[in-house]
């Protein structure tokens, strides 16, 4: 019996993940894989090696990577719950929902923590971080979200990393929405633990996340985990000692798709080339939305090329659910707003999209907003 023809995707996902993927990434998920098979474990090991190569150039021997089942938040929790010792304390820099979530995770795990908050539309202040670290010697770890998709703000990773380095603390970076799409070098920055996910800028599908860790720092974490399934150290030792084996059932189809996505990242020209495409997408989006009368929430100097928040129209007839439904019917899915003090919606510019996709979105949007701007 021949396989049924697969229908095309009904819409493009303009979200920060899950995102639109290539047909070839989807295609490789049609094969089943045994988790104990040497071929499959070889794929896992190759992914782990490639992640370290993407993360740093000069310091590859100092870093390792470990894959964890679940969403990105699972691996954030695995990291916080494993790498912070019983007597440790984490200082979380928060200027959005995902920074706040790290503080919430630390609280639920009974990890001593403090949250240094900034407004959602401003950067964390490195000088305030320096003061906080000087005032509290109990702080052992600092945690930061690099691209806070609450707003689309790209936080000043280099400046924050410099303060953490000079203080001698361990640095945890949630690079969920930036790794693979924005150039960075964890070795040069002094990042000890970087967390990201399969369904973000590498352009795979949801199902696992990963942690790129300094070997020495992760090696010191044996027995510290506050969870069995989210024990980052034990997962790492199993993958190290048993040639890519996962402790529990792995998302085999997702792993295979991710391996294909990594190959396609290489074919595109690497992180620098992908970053250039994302920036071109963002430029086209902001220009086109501006022509339609939409204003960005953030100033350009704070904005990432990953996802952009736009202020909702003030017209009395505007309704986001209707706007969303009309756009979806036209072939595009966007995100509702997540900002606490402003009415916004968000549009992602990552995934298998290009400036022509964004141009088509703008044309579609003209018809979707005419009823709102006319006050109907």
Return the CATH number at 155. 3.40.640.10
What is the distance between the alpha carbons of residues 127 and 140, in angstroms, rounded to a whole number?
Answer: 18
Q: Assess if residue 344 is contained within a domain.
A: yes
Contacts of 339 (CB under 8 A, 6+ apart): 120, 121, 150, 151, 297, 309
Looking at the 3D structure of the chain, how many domains does it have? Answer: 2
- The per-residue pLDDT for range 76-104, each reduced to its tens digit, is 999 999 999 999 999 999 999 999 999 99
* In a shared domain, residues 92 and 81: yes
With helix as H, strand as E and coil as C, how does 93-142 read?
EECCHHHHHHHHHHHHCCCEEEEEECCCCCCCCHHHHHHHHHHCCCCCEE
Asked if residue 240 has pLDDT above 50, the reply is yes
* In a shared domain, residues 99 and 153: yes
Residue of 375, 362, 352 lying closest to 310 (CA atoms): 362
* In a shared domain, residues 145 and 167: yes
What is the distance between the alpha carbons of residues 290 and 293, in angstroms, rounded to a whole number?
Answer: 5
Q: Assess if residue 366 is contained within a domain.
A: yes
* In a shared domain, residues 294 and 149: no
Q: Assess if residue 198 is contained within a domain.
A: yes
Structure tokens at 184: 């960075």
* In a shared domain, residues 237 and 336: no
* In a shared domain, residues 48 and 116: yes
Q: In CATH, what number is assigned to the domain containing residue 338? A: 3.90.1150.10
- For residue 279, give its domain range: 270-373
Residue 164 has what pLDDT? 98
What is the distance between the alpha carbons of residues 266 and 324, in angstroms, rounded to a whole number?
Answer: 34
Picking from 243, 267, 291, the residue at the C-terminal end of a domain is 267
| pTM, two decimal places | 0.95
* In a shared domain, residues 170 and 104: yes
Cβ contacts of 47-50, under 8 Å, gap ≥ 24: 47/255, 47/258, 47/259, 47/262, 48/239, 48/244, 50/262
Residue 296 has what pLDDT? 97
pLDDT band at 289 (very low <50, low <70, confident <90, very high): very high
Asked if residue 374 has pLDDT above 60, the reply is no
* In a shared domain, residues 228 and 348: no
Residue 371 has what pLDDT? 57
* In a shared domain, residues 227 and 280: no
Cβ 180 vs Cβ 54: under 8 Å: yes
Q: Assess if residue 2 is contained within a domain.
A: no
Q: Assess if residue 7 is contained within a domain.
A: no
**233 to 88, 227, 241: CA distances (angstroms):** 17, 11, 12
Name the one residue in this structure whose structure tokens are 């740093």: 56
What is the distance between the alpha carbons of residues 196 and 177, in angstroms, rounded to a whole number?
Answer: 7
* In a shared domain, residues 79 and 191: yes
DSSP state of 17: S
Picking from 235, 267, 299, the residue at the C-terminal end of a domain is 267
Q: Assess if residue 14 is contained within a domain.
A: no
Residue 5 has what pLDDT? 55
What is the distance between the alpha carbons of residues 227 and 349, in angstroms, rounded to a whole number?
Answer: 35
- Rg for the chain (alpha carbons), in Å? 21
Asked if residue 2 has pLDDT above 70, the reply is no
Q: Assess if residue 10 is contained within a domain.
A: no
What is the distance between the alpha carbons of residues 271 and 282, in angstroms, rounded to a whole number?
Answer: 16
Cβ 79 vs Cβ 172: under 8 Å: yes
Q: Assess if residue 12 is contained within a domain.
A: no
Picking from 231, 252, 267, the residue at the C-terminal end of a domain is 267
Cβ contacts of 370-375, under 8 Å, gap ≥ 24: 371/317, 371/322, 372/313, 372/315, 372/317, 372/318, 372/319, 372/322, 372/323, 373/293, 373/313, 373/315, 373/318, 374/315, 374/317, 375/315, 375/316, 375/317
Helices (H) and strands (E) counted in the chain, each on its own, are: 13, 14
* In a shared domain, residues 212 and 289: no
Of the listed ranges 93-107, 290-304, 326-340, the one predicted with least confidence: 326-340
Cα angle: 192, vertex 198, 201; to 5 degrees: 85
* In a shared domain, residues 261 and 275: no
- The per-residue pLDDT for range 154-179, each reduced to its tens digit, is 999 999 999 999 999 999 999 999 99
Centroid of chain to Cα 230: 19
């Amino acid at each position: 019996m021949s396989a049924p023809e697969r229908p095309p995707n009904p819409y493009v996902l303009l979200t920060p993940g899950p995102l639109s993927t290539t047909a070839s990434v989807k295609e490789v998920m049609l094969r089943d894989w045994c988790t104990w098979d040497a071929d499959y474990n070889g794929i896992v090991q190759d992914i782990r090696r490639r992640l370290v190569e993407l993360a740093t150039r000069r310091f590859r021997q100092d870093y390792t990577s470990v894959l964890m089942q679940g969403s990105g938040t699972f691996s954030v929790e695995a990291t916080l719950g494993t790498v912070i010792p019983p007597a440790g304390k984490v200082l979380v820099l928060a200027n959005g929902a995902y920074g706040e979530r790290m503080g919430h995770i630390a609280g639920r795990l009974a990890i001593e923590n403090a949250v240094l908050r900034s407004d959602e539309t401003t950067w964390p202040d490195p000088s305030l971080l320096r003061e906080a670290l000087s005032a509290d010697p109990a702080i052992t770890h600092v945690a930061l979200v690099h691209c806070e998709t609450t707003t689309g703000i790209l936080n000043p990773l280099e400046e924050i990393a410099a303060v953490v380095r000079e203080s001698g603390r361990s640095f945890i970076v949630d690079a969920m929405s930036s790794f693979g799409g924005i150039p960075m070098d964890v070795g040069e920055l002094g990042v000890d633990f970087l967390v990201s996910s399969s369904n973000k800028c590498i352009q795979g599908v949801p199902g696992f996340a990963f942690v790129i860790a300094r070997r020495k720092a992760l090696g010191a974490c044996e027995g510290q985990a506050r969870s069995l399934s989210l024990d980052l150290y034990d997962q790492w030792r199993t993958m190290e000692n048993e040639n890519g084996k996962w402790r529990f059932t792995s998302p085999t189809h997702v792993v295979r798709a991710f391996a294909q996505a990594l190959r396609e990242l290489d074919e595109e020209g690497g992180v620098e080339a992908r970053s250039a495409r994302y920036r071109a997408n963002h430029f086209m989006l902001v220009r086109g939305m501006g022509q339609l009368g939409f204003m960005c929430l953030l100033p350009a100097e704070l904005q990432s090329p990953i996802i952009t928040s736009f202020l909702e129209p003030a017209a009395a007839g505007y309704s986001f659910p209707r706007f969303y439904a009309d756009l979806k019917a036209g072939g595009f899915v966007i995100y509702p707003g997540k900002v606490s003090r402003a009415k916004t919606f968000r549009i992602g510019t990552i995934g298998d999209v290009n400036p022509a996709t964004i141009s088509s979105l703008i044309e579609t949007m003209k018809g979707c907003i005419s009823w709102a701007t006319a006050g109907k």
